[in-house]
Structure formats: structure tokens, C-alpha cells
Amino acid sequence: MDKLNTLVIEDDPLFRKVMASTLGLCEAPAGARSSAKGAGTLAGHAIDFAENAAVAKEKLEKDHYDLCFIDLKLGDRDNYSGLKLIALARSKGIYSVVMSSHDTEPFIQKAYELGCDDFYAKGNEDNNVSQVLARFWQKREKSKEENIFKERFITEDSATKLAIGEALKYAPSDLPILILGPSGAGKTSLARLVHDFSRRKGEFVAINCSAYTEDLLEAELFGYKKGAFTGANETRKGKLLLADRGTLFLDEIGAMSLKMQTKLLKAIEEKTFYPVGSDIPETSSFRVISATLEDLQCLINEGRLRFDFFQRIHGLTIRLKPLSERKDDIFPLISFFTKQGRRLSFTQEAKTELLGYNWPGSVRELKKLADLLMAGEEGRVQAETVKRLLNSLRPEEGASGFATDEQYRFALRQGLNEAVDRFIDGIVETGLKAHNNRKYATMRDLGISSRMLYDSLKRLNVPLRKSTRRKPPVPITSIDTATATGRISVPEALRSGTAAISNVNSIEVKEEVVA
């Protein structure tokens, strides 16, 4: 962490020694401790001194300080020149503390009006300085947290701020974190933020588990040796090893197969694993952060997620709300997305459109819209433009928009043929319910063959009943079409039983449908 720089403005040499001793013994928060000697105290940080206003002004203008202690009267003939230094320190963003024997109400009021952050009367330095530093660290951390929500994870939603603040409390620990939330809600951004605040020396290594088949995912995670499989032309490190002393981010953890969960569980617990094709173990000290948009309890109930694996990855669970539930973030996010480009203004009608939209793609969808608006012709955005662009972001009814993310992940896990069968079975099952289990009506409306229907019914384990009733003998109706007088038509004969038809060539074809 950066060294803390403190300036003490004091004319009395003896009191400067008192302040040096006091500041050297005051404890700093754990996150602010330096690796220099005196760790846990400000002795590990830089303490500078100025004996008069001229030297103090020069130092304040030239150097960088985080904290400044100011005596108001700098010499016997000094006219309280310390007051003039408060505004200068304040303008530099320095936490300013007045320490003075002149602690009457007018001086206190004047000092605070000029912008000092703290004021105490000289005489009990151990206690006063300790309390001042405690308030300084508190304000510093609060300011840092506010910057997070303006620069790293843009939100004004109190529940989201609370959730992120909770995650950052555990950032320096090795506790695994599980982030839940819909696609585009910012799960990856939060994972990276936690890593940055963890002070871990290694890298942030991310992998999307839904983007790989089981074999490829194993190779990506554990690495492989040259010749381990077809195409393994060189030895390659896996994500686990790349994340040594850093963070391993497992996105879409619910897409991982049970076999892979078993292997990864062992690696997480023991921090030891074998690359594909190797009998020599590798070790890696990584911290696990996982994320998913799926309901993990449902995955456990369905047998798609091992309970022991779930227990290992969910030390702290953070839920991120979708953008549809934090609409106050829409315009701050747009302002952030356009910060380095074209700035935009919205009519009231356009704002109403944005606030009324349900944002199925969450923050990611808003980012796409902002990019389109910046590239467009309007700087002053109209409601019609918002409507048109939002419609363009919706998936078309073509091949790309037809398959859902869940269907795609299933196809990656089980193969495309299995996914197609599952899709067919779902449609057939829905069709049967709509037609009260009438098979012919289902086949007719779906336009499928009886073979497809019965293959699906077998996969669905629907019993195929065979009738045990004996059919009555069917009368034979003999029809001579050449002499028929209309007393019986061919369709009527077909309804009544089996027809023996002669003189077929003389049949007059009519559009009659046999039920």
C-alpha cells in the first residue's frame, strides 16, 4: 500500500518531538500498515515538519500530503498565520487538523469555517491524536468506498452498495465468494473488484465454464502436457496454475458437469492437481470466486450440482439485483459509459422510455444502447430513437435468437443431439397437455410424424397402451361404381367397414374428407 504522508506545522521544537513520538506510536488500521519497520504504527509512514508559515506553505504547494497537523500561532509575534494555511491544505485535499492552545469558541468556529476537518486543544496528545487518526481512517475508507460506486461499480442503489461493501470486507481473506445474479448484472466486475481489494500478489484469472465441453474445460483448468491428446502440440499451463497467489473466477459454475465438479473440488481443497497427461502434481494457492445466473438449490435438487462442491464455493454469497430493479442507476451508468466519448442529453419522453423498459439484458444491454447512441446523429436523444434502438437490441426470431442461454449450455454439456431430443420432448409434452393427451391432434398441430411422436413418448416414459378390446367383424360392402345410384357413397362405405370396389375407373372424385 502507498505510504501515508503526514505534515506537522509547529514552531515549538519540543512539541515537534512530542508529535513525532506520538504519531510513531499510534496504530493504523490493518489495511493501512506498511511493511517498513514499526508496522502497525505510523512509524512505517512518512512524517514531515515545518517550523513556520513560509516553510509550511512551500511544502504544501510542492509536496503531497495525506494528513496535516496545524498549530494556529507559529511564534510569539505571529498573528495566527496557521489559519491561513487551513484553506491551502484544504484545497490540496489534505485532511487538516488544528491543534492549538487557543481553543476558544471564536478560534474553533473560524477554523471550521476555513475548512479544517478536526480541532483539538494541546495537552493530551496520546488520546487526541489517536482519535484524530481513527476519524481520518474512517473518512478515508468511506471516501474510497464512494469512489468505487462512481468509478468501478456504478450504482446508487443502497442494497447493491451494501452487498458490494460486504464483499469487500472479506476481500483480503481466502474465503470463497459466490456471486448470484442475472446475465449482465455485473458479476464479473464485482469479482475483479474483490480481487483488486484483496492485495493478493497473483493475477485475476477468469473462465466461463459454459463455453467449454467437459474435456476442454478440464484441459483449460488443469493444463496439459504435450501429447496428452490429439492437438496437444505443446505443454500448457492451466487456469489453476495461472491463478497462483491470485484469484480464480469461475463464471457460470452451474454449467460444470458432475465429473468436473469432483475433480475441481479436490483441487480446491488440497490446492494440488494433475495436468492432463501428467503424473507429476502441481500446486497453486488460489482464491475461488464463483458466479452463476442459475438457481443452485434447484441444481442440487435435480442432481446437477454436488452438495459438497456447493459447500466449498459458497463461503460468502452475494446477490446482485438486475437493472430492472435498480432503475436509478440507468442515467449514472449512461453518464459513465459516455464519459470518454460523446456526452448525451435526453428529452423527458426519452427518459420515460428508458425508465419504463424492463432491461432483460441488464447493464450489458444498457451499455450496448449507450454505444449506439454515441455513434448516432443525435446529441439530444428523442423518445423515438430510444424505442427504435431498444427494438434493434432484441433478438430476432431467427436461429441466433431462438436458442436460450440455458439450452446452449445444456448442448455444451450433453451434446447437440441430446439437446434437440430434449427440446422435441418438451414441445410434444406441451402439445399433449394442450390436447388432453390426444395423440392425433398433437401430431396434426405440430406437423410431426407418428414415429417422431412415439419416439418422444418413449423418452418421456409415457406408457403406450394397447387396446385389449376385440373389434366386431367388419362387414364387406360391395360397390359397383358403374351402377351406383347414390344410395351409398364411397366415403360412407369406408366409414362402415371394408369396401370391395369394382369399376374403379368410373368413380367421380369429390372432395370429401374421411373423419
pLDDT in tens, 230-278: 888 899 999 999 999 999 999 999 889 999 999 999 999 999 999 999 9
* pLDDT tens sequence across 471-500: 455 454 444 444 444 444 444 444 444 444
Measured over the CA atoms of residue 17, residue 19, residue 22 and residue 28, the dihedral's sign is negative
261 contacts 223 by C-beta, under 8 angstroms: no
C-alpha cell, 188: 464479473
Report the alpha-carbon distance of residue 314 to residue 20 in Å, rounded. Answer: 46
Mean pLDDT of 377-386: 90
Please tell me the predicted confidence (pLDDT) of residue 435: 79
C-alpha cell, 36: 517498513
> Residue 441: which pLDDT band, with cuts at 50, 70 and 90?
confident
Q: Which amino acid is at 53?
A: A
Mean pLDDT of 314-326: 93
Between helix 258-270 and helix 214-222 the angle, nearest 10°, is: 10
Report the alpha-carbon distance of residue 187 to residue 319 in Å, rounded. Answer: 9
- Interstrand relation of 272-273 and 282-283 (parallel, antiparallel or unpaired): antiparallel
Report the candidate in 210, 209, 231 with the shortest Cα–Cα distance to residue 276. 231
Q: What is this structure's pTM?
A: 0.58
Mean pLDDT of 128-143: 81
Angle, CA 308 vertex, CA 307 and CA 314 arms, to 5°: 85
> Residue 202: which pLDDT band, with cuts at 50, 70 and 90?
very high
